[in-house]
Structure 1
Amino acid sequence: MSASRTSKSDNSKPSTTSPIFDGRLNLEQQRKRAKELLRALRSGNSDAQTRFANTGHGISTAEAGNIQLADAQLVIARENGFASWPKLKNHIDRITEQNRQIATGTPPALDTPNTLHLRCGSDIRNGLGIAGFAGDFLEFADPFCQGPVPDLPLDQFVAIRADFIASSYHITPKDALARSQREYSALTTLDNYDHVVLWFEHDCYDQLILAFLMDFIAVTKPATRIELISVGEVPGVARFIGLGQLSPELLIWCWENHRVSVSDAMLEAGRTAWKAIRSTTPDALKAFVQSNTNALLHLIPALKRHIAELPDQKSGLGLTQKLALQIAADHGPLPVGKIFGHLMRSYDPLPYLGDLMFWSEIQTMMECQSPLFILSGDQEQDWPTRLFTLTETGLETLAGNRNFLDNFTGNRWVGGIEVSPRTSRHSR
Structure 2
Amino acid sequence: MPQRPFASNTNGRLNLEQQRKRAKELLPHLKHQDPGATLSQAQWQVARQLGFSSWPKLKAHVDAIDFAARHPGFHAGDEARTTHWRCGNDIAHSLQVAGFKGRFRMLTDPLCMGPVRDLPKEDFRAMRSAFISQAFAMAPSDAAHRISDEYDQLEELANAEHSVLWCEADAYDQLFLIRALAGLEHAPKKLELIEVDRIPGVERFIGIGQLAPDVLAWLWPQRRVIDDGAVQLARRAWSAYCDSSPVKLAELAHDTHLALPFLAPALLRQLQELPGIRDGLSLTERLSLSYIAEAGPVPFGRVFAELMAKREPLPFLGDMMFHALLRPLIEGQHPLLLQTEAHLDWPKRVLALTALGQEVVSGGANWLDFASLERWVGGVCLQPGQPHWAIDQDLMPVKRR
TM-score by length of 1: 0.85
Q: Which amino acid aligns with 2:56?
A: P
The alignment-based identity, stated in percent, is 42
Say which SS state the counterpart of residue 388 (structure 2) adopts: coil
Aligned to 2:369: 406
Matches within 5 A, 1:318-357: 318-357=282-321
- Give the drift of 1:231: 0.9
Query: What are the residue-to-residue correspondences of 1:307-326 with 2, within 5 Å?
Result: 307-326=271-290
| Cα displacement (A) at 1:381 | 3.3
Contact 1:374–1:388, Cα closer than 8 Å, also in 2:
yes
Confirm or deny that 1:154 pairs with 2:121: yes
Change (3 A) 1:112 1:295: closer
SS of equivalent residue, structure 2 residue 322: helix
The letter for the 1-side match of 2:270 is H
Q: How do residues 132-211 of structure 1 correspond to structure 2 at under 5 angstroms?
A: 132-190=99-157, 193-211=160-178
For residues 201-259 of structure 1, the C-alpha deviation after alignment (integer angstroms, 9 at most, x for no partner) is 11111111111112112x2x4754000011100010011110110010011122123x1
After superposition, give the CA deviation of every residue in 1:275-319 in whole Å (9 maximum; x if it has no partner).
111111121111112222232121111111101111111111001
CA distance in 2, matches of 1:397, 1:298: 33
How much has 1:188 moved relative to structure 2? 2.3
Distance 1:190 1:361 in 2: 31
Q: Deviations over 1:31-52 (max 9, x none)?
A: 23334444434433xxxxxxxx
Task: Kindly report which structure 2 residues correspond to 1:226-241, keeping only aligned pairs within 5 A, or say none.
Answer: 226-241=191-206
In the TM superposition, residue 110 of structure 1 has moved relative to its aligned partner by 5.8
Larger deviation, residues 139-148 vs 288-297? 288-297
- Stretch deviating more after TM superposition (72-81 or 228-237): 72-81
Q: Is the 8 Å Cα contact of residues 69 and 214 (structure 2) preserved in structure 1?
A: yes
Corresponding position of 1:13: 5
CA contact (8 A) 1:114 1:136 kept: yes
Match of 1:88 among 58, 70, 74: 58
Call closer, same or farther: CA 1:34–1:274 in 2, change over 3 Å: same
Which amino acid is the alignment partner of residue 225 of structure 1?
K
Q: Partner amino acid for 2:93? A: N
- Show CA shifts across 1:14-42 (max 9, x none): 56xxx652111111222233344444344
Number of aligned positions between the proteins: 391
Pick the aligned partner of 2:46 from 53, 73, 76: 76
Distance 1:264 1:192, change over 3 A: closer
- CA-based RMSD of the aligned residues comes to 2.2
Please list every run of 5 or more consecutive structure 2 residues that lacks an aligned counterpart in the other structure: 392-401
Alpha carbons of structure 1 residues 109 and 84: separation in structure 2 relative to 1, 3 Å: farther
Give the match for residue 256 of structure 2. Answer: 292
Match of 1:302 among 260, 266, 269: 266
Conserved 8 A contact 2:204-2:309: yes
1:162: how far off? 0.8
Moved more, 35-44 or 127-136: 35-44
1:365 to 319, 329, 339: 329
Alpha-carbon separation, structure 2, partners of 1:369 and 1:22: 43
**Cα pair 2:169 2:197 within 8 Å, conserved:** yes
1:261 aligns with 2:225: yes
Aligned to 1:32: 21
Contact 1:190/1:222, CA 8 A, preserved across alignment: no
Secondary structure at 1:70 match in 2: helix
Post-superposition offset of 1:107: 9.3
Asked if 2 retains the 8 angstrom alpha-carbon contact of 1:113 and 1:135, the reply is: yes
Comparing 383-392 with 196-205, greater Cα deviation is found at 383-392
CA contact (8 A) 1:114 1:193 kept: no
Give the aligned residue type for 1:285: L
Kept in 2: contact 1:107–1:131 (CA 8 A): no
Counterpart Cα distance in 1 of 2:230 and 2:94: 27
Query: What amino acid does structure 1 have at the position aligned with 2:62?
Result: I
Structure 2 distance, partners of 1:134, 1:212, is 26
TM-score (norm 2): 0.91
Structure 1 alignment gaps of length 5 or more? 5-11, 45-63
1:190 CA drift (Å):
2.8
Cα deviation, residue 161, structure 1: 0.7
Secondary structure at 2:183 match in 1: helix
> How far apart in 1 are the matches of 2:78 and 2:64?
19
